[in-house]
Structure 1
Amino acid sequence: MNQRCTGTGGLPVSIRACRRQWGVWMLALASAPLCAWAQQAASALSPASAEISTLPAVTVTATRAQTATKTDAPLIETPQAISVVTGAQMETQAIQNINQALRYTSGVVAETRGGSATREDFQYIRGFGPFGTNYLDGMKQPYASFGFFQNEPYFIDRIEILKGPSSVLYGQNSPGGLINLISKRPTTEPQHEIFVNGGSFGRVEAGADLSGPIDADGKLSYRLTAVGLTGATYVDHTRSERAAVAPALTWRPDANTTLTLYAQYLHDPRSGHFGYVPAQGTFLDNPNGRISRSFFDGEPGFNHDSKTQAAIGYELDHRYDSGWRLQQSLRYAHLDSDLAMVYGTGLASDLRTLNRAAFTDRDTIGALTFDNRLERAFDTGPLRHSVLFGVDYQHTDADARWLFGAAPGIDAFSPVYGQPVAAPAVPLLDQAQRLSQTGLYLQDQIRLDRWVLLAGLRHDWADNDTHNRSTDTSTTVRDTATTGRLGLLYQFDSGFAPYINYSTSFLPTTGTNWKGDPFKPTTGEQWEAGVKYQPGNAHGFVTASVFNLVQDNVQTLDPDPAHGPFAQAQSGRARARGIELEGHADLNRNLSVIANYTYLDNKVVRSNGPDLGKQPVSVPRNTASLWLDYRFHDSELPGVVGLNAGVRYIGASYADVANTERVPGFTVADAGVSYTKGSYRLALNVANVFDRRAVICSNGYNACNYIQPRTITASLRYLW
């Protein structure tokens, strides 16, 4: 159920101890100087901008999404569970990466590497993942080894999370679902913003988002978004640095045609920390005391982690007079990743000395993705059809080289750095891989009065050619798969819409059995039923769903000892059953609310290993969250004061596949205050207000991570 890249689970992280402060009073104390600062800024405004702002409440409710049907269908008419994180929500919560943006979303566990690992976007959806779930503008973002495309949150307009098997429109995919990030695009109306943030651990960030028409007729419009940041992390000897820019140009030659050209460049000279801390001394007792959150398990002169990625592409939308609509999306992306680390492998018998190893990895990825689809609406008697026919293509060239070596141990409680580390020389992986997939899909949304039937069918051809340079051998795997989806929904006048659906997925796997035969793709199959509710004013949206999800062809130990101790067979099965409750509501111009609860009963129901009947690693059975945002439009101040607060509960999970190592659950609180006056917005956000010290383990008790400690972010935005 946990699809893990070989090697990614065995490299460790650590974290920095902040002094315990009176978190319960901190927000109240901090808000006083903030309001004073806001009043000074307000007095400097021009008369035109000095009018009292009448901004509405933060919009947390979305009513439409592209991801589920590729047709921008209303959520209330889509018979499948979908969550949407709006751009306003991300801004209000002052998120610093995509993982943090998903904290208040049902069915998603997004920070399984704690708060220090910021070099990747890893998410579990309904207990499955964390690889193969990330999409940008409807097209998959590939990964290879430790090379992961990342997304700058300031470039994102919203995030759409589609729950359950989704291969019918997207091809090979994790059975838990997918996370589709929708980029900002040029606007026909002028809008401009600049911002600066500052906060804990010396983090400083600045950016600009400029958009609007270029010519008087509005046929050409542009958008230029840029951001830069630098700062330390809460782990000693580590930093996060980024420079990124995303230009886009839209041409509208007539009312029926839109062509958008875009590019993106992102460079991370330093990507935070990517190690682990052991359990003894974090949440388990250790006679030597507690390991500091700031403890760095690497060597400052050896560890480094940098990434450079770029993309260019276009989006075409044309409506023909015949009623057909053509949409095309094409993107080419390239990634270079350079990772070197000394990392902890577990405590010695004295429970003080941390054993370590050294590792280097170089990854390059070149990826071309293309999606071409035709859509048309027509009637056949009382039936209203919306038919979608598409063909998509993905091609990825990936190159990876891992080297492993020894490294000296270090005192985890009183570290002394500067020990010599020999360059790793043992090759663990040295390969070039070429992946391609071609898919044909057909979908029909049929409406009859208040009934909505959604039916889809797809066939894929997937190829995987791998050349192992260490052994000078090549392997080729050819897979085909047919997947589908069938959903039915009924809309009542009251705003309720019960639904049921069935969907399937496939995901190619690597490796061979004892005879050398390539493994088949894993397959996913889900039944889901639920009810959606949208009031007449469309200022709220609630979804309740139950589901039963099964993944087959999962690799497990070969039961025949004659085939060798490491032989694998594809006789495993993983199952997820659960309940998801999620609600978003903009109750009035003052108050917005987000609430969700998830119960997951995930088990390995067929296996020849110790995971039989066990819960998957890092996936809690229960999660819940609540977020409130309130704005005082009628206060005595000449502007709008906003207060927000949230609480997140992450239940207990397991650190190992045999479920012998239980990691306690925890609750975290977030809060913020803002002041909006004219074109200015000042804000102060605090994540983990009470500085909760908790740990997540993802690959045994030697591979744990602290969650993000109390983190303060102050921001100033100017819009015109």
Structure 2
Amino acid sequence: MSPTKRRCRPGFQSSRLHRAVKGVLLLSALTVSAAPYAESDADTLSVKHSYHIGGGSLSHVLSQFATASGLLFVAEARLTEGKTSAGLDGEYTVDEGFRKLLAGTGLNYTVTSDKTVTLKVVQRQSQFDSTTMPAVEVTGRVVYDANDPYNPNYSRANASTGTRTDTPLMETPISIQVVPRAVLQDQQSIQVGDAIKNVSGVFQGNTFGGFAEQFLIRGFNTSFNNYQDGFRWPASRLTMANVERVEVVKGAAANLYGRIEPGGMINVVTKRPQAAPYYALEQQFGSYDLYRTTADATGAINADGSLMYRLNVESLNKNSFRDFAFTDRVFVAPSLTWKISDRTQLDLDFMYSDEDTQEDYGVVASTLTRRPVNIPISRYLNEPSTDKSNTTLYNTAVTLSHAFNDDWKVKARFNYLNRNTVDPQTSGVFWDEDPSSATYGDMTRDFYGSWAESETYYGNVNLTGRFNTFGVEHQTLIGWEHYSGTSTLKTQYDPIDWGGATINIFHPVYRPTDPSNMPYFYQNGSGSNSNGVYFQDQITLFDKLHILGGGRYDWISDVGSGFAEVSAEAALANRKTTNNEGFSPRVGLLYQPWQWLSVYGNYVESMGSANGAIDAHGKLLDPQIGEQYEAGFKTSFFDQRLTSNVAFYHLSKKNMAVSVPGKPYSEAIGEARSQGVEIDVSGQVTDGLSLIGSYAYTDAVILKADNNQGNKLWNVPRNAGSLWAKYDIQQAELRGLSVGAGAYFQDTKQGNNANEYQLPGWGRIDALIKYQLPVAKTRTTLQFNIENLLDHQYYIASSPGLTTFVIPGQPRTFMGSVKIEF
């Protein structure tokens, strides 16, 4: 059966969006952005000092920085007039400080022999000029600000997710991987799953056709909980349209983030408003009628740069290699930053997303052949006429930060998320595998329809400070966090009349179930309310030994689902609440004998996800508990251009629910263990050659369970890896041209926890070609990507309990784009 083509959602006019984007972009004239370079005395530039300089006019900030560095600042007023700076906070050499402050201003500087700093305009020339480079540094390398939209670096020196502080990775005794914006752009990433393919030990889980994204980290699933700027999102799909980078923390992070799966967490860090103006418009198009338009605009609103904005917009319309599947999404995310004073800042963020998609459980597997059944990977086995889902998200965040002095700072955030979903689905339960049967291939399906509204409230306060005791440096964090959610759910469920929904997997005839005669069930109050207090101290001894210690105490109320056929109010009266509390410690030790090498280890305990099952007394079981031992080393070569992390870990999850045979209750006696080795490398090898690669050996098994004891955990390959490399051609006549390729592979993995079937091992090749046009005053980039170049058939995910939920990987897919930046 040929797939039904899905166009834009009724009521949404793409041209209206395009006109709006065009209006935003025309608010500013074209600007010239060039990386500054310096000419100065090497000794003067090489000494690092700590600076805490607030934002303001460029002239004022430069003067403050020069004075603090023991230099005399001289500049013509016309050079800095109307320009602003976000300030400087951290340890920098004079060279690094001036580069950061002057990035994007079109200015460079000179330090004369009498320690006088003067400014002059960069003479910008085309990157295609064979005699000059657009930016030159004394060390031979351009220095980019971490948030510079033109930053091409594949590695990041710092990360914030693992410690809630901006800490160098080489000083953090935790395994953290960062996928920066440059990688996301080169690979044309649209979803979180497109980014995590570059990280070791992280695998795609269930997606329900994209309705939500689940991942497995170190063998344990994330239960559809992903994070954005440290805030835990319920089941939903996050776009890359406003993403600066993706940070993955390996191992339990409960000591800072509360209840979380022990494998780790994925945190999407969003783009922030910048004082320097920047505008970008990109049009992507590809296989299966993919059309995606994105716009990004940022800059200062007032003359002194104290008020800044950012606006990200996305319009996505695409079909799929899967019959009937589609995704239509409209996304808008405005942000505002107000620097009230040199020490006080207010951030306002809003996000709106409206997404239509098709529920999709994929194809099926056989317990006889122990492999996915040989049917077309495009075959759709849900019900196309009814299984159309919608998710609407409204998110509002307010963040206030204040620096009491140069060492102590407080930051408070409040977040409100409203999530509405409509999610009917006709999913397979089991199918007749007997080739001799008259009903061979018939799959029994179950209809479930839901209409849900949930509200999530989140607030936290963090106090950070630096101090010194008897020559010992401390960076301390003390915090409080609140998380609560309420939901109202109306469902229709047909557990008896399955006959009308039966479909044959070899010869499908679609017959939707009529839900008009089904009763409604109501569920109210499911979710959890939690309060947690946490502390952390990062201690530095002798500039080489870094000690991390801390923990979190949580008070959690798990609200069980209250069901009723009468009304939502009756369901509210039937719900049950179970209270839990516990302490989650974390300690780590890192020794850095040389600047290029760090050796580390850590121990973590965590109070993990709630058990949904009840005990013999009708009480929800105690939550799952995670425990991890980890050791490894990190390297940083070529002036931090190429970094790596090698980790050895042993991770266990206890208190897992195990059903009691013949009884309607369970016991918290289950246990699973994962151990292995992970290797991650990213950065620049030579001029023009950048790469990001990974390898993971994962041994994940079920130690204690009812029927699956000794089995391997589902969807976890023992061996998996990736290598993506891009080369910017250096020859003058071809400058602006980039080529790239990536290889990804996974070993055979179990399809479910019963180990009844396996997903075969696979490998695929991706490719890239990109060309930056020599257009004055703008950066125009043409890009073309190919995914699965050799058109290899493979399967990426399955279900922990069913054989009727197997997700095929994409066949050969093309994507092109045209991007204009100025």
| CA gap 1:93/1:315 in 2 versus in 1, 3 angstroms | same
Alpha-carbon distance in 1 for matches of 2:225, 2:636: 28
Alpha-carbon distance in 1 for matches of 2:376, 2:739: 32
CA-based RMSD: 2.6
Which residue of 357, 360, 373 maps to 2:462?
373
| CA gap 1:494/1:260 in 2 versus in 1, 3 angstroms | closer
Which residue of 711, 715, 727 maps to 1:630?
727
What secondary structure, in the 3-state scheme, does the structure 2 residue paired with 1:99 have? helix
Q: How far is 1:293 from its partner?
A: 2.2
For the Cα contact (< 8 Å) 2:524–2:575, is it kept in 1?
no
What secondary structure, in the 3-state scheme, does the structure 2 residue paired with 1:616 have? coil
Aligned to 2:712: 615
Tell me, yes or no, if structure 1 residue 190 matches structure 2 residue 277. yes
For the Cα contact (< 8 Å) 1:188–1:213, is it kept in 2?
yes
Alpha-carbon distance in 1 for matches of 2:731, 2:712: 51
Q: Which moved more, 1:457-466 or 1:592-601?
A: 457-466
What secondary structure, in the 3-state scheme, does the structure 1 residue paired with 2:365 have? coil
Aligned to 1:5: none
Tell me, yes or no, if structure 1 residue 321 matches structure 2 residue 414. no
Tell me, yes or no, if structure 1 residue 433 matches structure 2 residue 526. yes
Matched residue type, 2:590: L
Which residue of 804, 807, 810 maps to 1:705?
807
Aligned to 2:389: 305
Q: Deviations over 1:10-44 (max 9, x none)?
A: xxxx9989xxxxxxxxxxxxxxxxxxxxxxxxxxx
| CA gap 1:417/1:455 in 2 versus in 1, 3 angstroms | same
Query: 1:229-248 alignment to 2 at 5 Å?
Result: 229-248=316-335
| CA gap 1:513/1:379 in 2 versus in 1, 3 angstroms | same
For the Cα contact (< 8 Å) 1:694–1:707, is it kept in 2?
yes
Aligned to 2:211: 119
Which residue of 301, 304, 313 maps to 1:217?
304
Aligned to 1:451: 545
Query: 1:541-620 alignment to 2 at 5 Å?
Result: 541-558=643-660, 564-607=662-705, 609-620=706-717
For the Cα contact (< 8 Å) 1:257–1:318, is it kept in 2?
yes
Alignment gaps of 5+ in structure 2: 5-31, 33-122, 135-141, 143-150, 565-570
Tell me, yes or no, if structure 1 residue 71 matches structure 2 residue 169. no
Which residue of 191, 200, 206 maps to 1:97?
191
More contact order relative to length (CA 8 Å, sep ≥ 6) = 1
What secondary structure, in the 3-state scheme, does the structure 1 residue paired with 2:424 have? strand
Matched residue type, 2:695: Y
Alpha-carbon distance in 1 for matches of 2:172, 2:2: 43
Query: Paired residues, what number?
Result: 663
For the Cα contact (< 8 Å) 2:317–2:329, is it kept in 1?
yes
Q: Which moved more, 1:502-511 or 1:467-476?
A: 467-476
Alpha-carbon distance in 1 for matches of 2:745, 2:368: 19
Please report the TM-score for the alignment, with normalisation by the length of structure 1.
0.87
Matched residue type, 1:121: E
Query: 1:274-423 alignment to 2 at 5 Å?
Result: 274-280=360-366, 290-321=374-405, 323-348=407-432, 349=437, 350-405=439-494, 406=498, 407-417=500-510, 421-423=514-516
| CA gap 1:280/1:612 in 2 versus in 1, 3 angstroms | closer
Which residue of 460, 473, 495 maps to 2:596?
495
Alpha-carbon distance in 1 for matches of 2:760, 2:297: 45
Q: How far is 1:487 from its partner?
A: 0.4
| CA gap 1:217/1:330 in 2 versus in 1, 3 angstroms | same
Q: Which moved more, 1:472-481 or 1:316-325?
A: 316-325
For the Cα contact (< 8 Å) 1:282–1:291, is it kept in 2?
no
Q: How far is 1:428 from its partner?
A: 7.2
Alpha-carbon distance in 2 for matches of 1:594, 1:351: 47
Alpha-carbon distance in 2 for matches of 1:624, 1:712: 23
Aligned to 2:793: 693
Tell me, yes or no, if structure 1 residue 680 matches structure 2 residue 780. yes
Q: How far is 1:393 from its partner?
A: 0.6
Q: Deviations over 1:324-383 (max 9, x none)?
A: 111122210110010112233343344344433322122221011111011111111121
Q: Which moved more, 1:181-190 or 1:356-365?
A: 356-365
| CA gap 1:598/1:505 in 2 versus in 1, 3 angstroms | same
For the Cα contact (< 8 Å) 1:133–1:177, is it kept in 2?
no
Q: How far is 1:409 from its partner?
A: 2.6
Which residue of 583, 604, 607 maps to 1:482?
583
Q: How far is 1:634 from its partner?
A: 1.7
What secondary structure, in the 3-state scheme, does the structure 2 residue paired with 1:276 have? coil
For the Cα contact (< 8 Å) 2:764–2:788, is it kept in 1?
yes
| CA gap 1:282/1:632 in 2 versus in 1, 3 angstroms | farther
Q: How far is 1:322 from its partner?
A: 7.0
Alpha-carbon distance in 2 for matches of 1:90, 1:285: 33
Which residue of 750, 756, 761 maps to 1:660?
756
For the Cα contact (< 8 Å) 1:52–1:640, is it kept in 2?
yes
Bigger radius of gyration among the two:
2
Matched residue type, 2:581: T
Alpha-carbon distance in 1 for matches of 2:535, 2:397: 25
Q: Which moved more, 1:580-589 or 1:221-230?
A: 580-589
Aligned to 2:738: 642
Alpha-carbon distance in 2 for matches of 1:290, 1:329: 51
Alpha-carbon distance in 2 for matches of 1:119, 1:283: 30
Aligned to 1:162: 249
Matched residue type, 1:464: D
Alignment gaps of 5+ in structure 1: 1-13, 18-44
Query: 1:169-208 alignment to 2 at 5 Å?
Result: 169-208=256-295
For the Cα contact (< 8 Å) 1:661–1:700, is it kept in 2?
no
Aligned to 1:52: 128
Query: 1:515-554 alignment to 2 at 5 Å?
Result: 515-535=617-637, 537-554=639-656
Alpha-carbon distance in 2 for matches of 1:64, 1:483: 25
Alpha-carbon distance in 2 for matches of 1:281, 1:301: 30
Alpha-carbon distance in 2 for matches of 1:215, 1:577: 54
Aligned to 2:230: 138
Aligned to 2:21: none
For the Cα contact (< 8 Å) 1:553–1:570, is it kept in 2?
yes
For the Cα contact (< 8 Å) 1:282–1:290, is it kept in 2?
no
What secondary structure, in the 3-state scheme, does the structure 2 residue paired with 1:705 have? strand
For the Cα contact (< 8 Å) 1:15–1:296, is it kept in 2?
no
Alpha-carbon distance in 2 for matches of 1:587, 1:475: 57
Alpha-carbon distance in 2 for matches of 1:305, 1:92: 31
For the Cα contact (< 8 Å) 2:611–2:657, is it kept in 1?
no
For the Cα contact (< 8 Å) 1:15–1:234, is it kept in 2?
no
Aligned to 2:12: none
Q: How far is 1:689 from its partner?
A: 1.2
Alpha-carbon distance in 2 for matches of 1:622, 1:106: 10
For the Cα contact (< 8 Å) 1:452–1:489, is it kept in 2?
yes
For the Cα contact (< 8 Å) 1:383–1:447, is it kept in 2?
yes
Please report the TM-score for the alignment, with normalisation by the length of structure 2.
0.77
Aligned-pair identity (%): 26
For the Cα contact (< 8 Å) 1:58–1:92, is it kept in 2?
no
Aligned to 1:109: 203
Alpha-carbon distance in 2 for matches of 1:186, 1:322: 23
What secondary structure, in the 3-state scheme, does the structure 2 residue paired with 1:636 have? helix
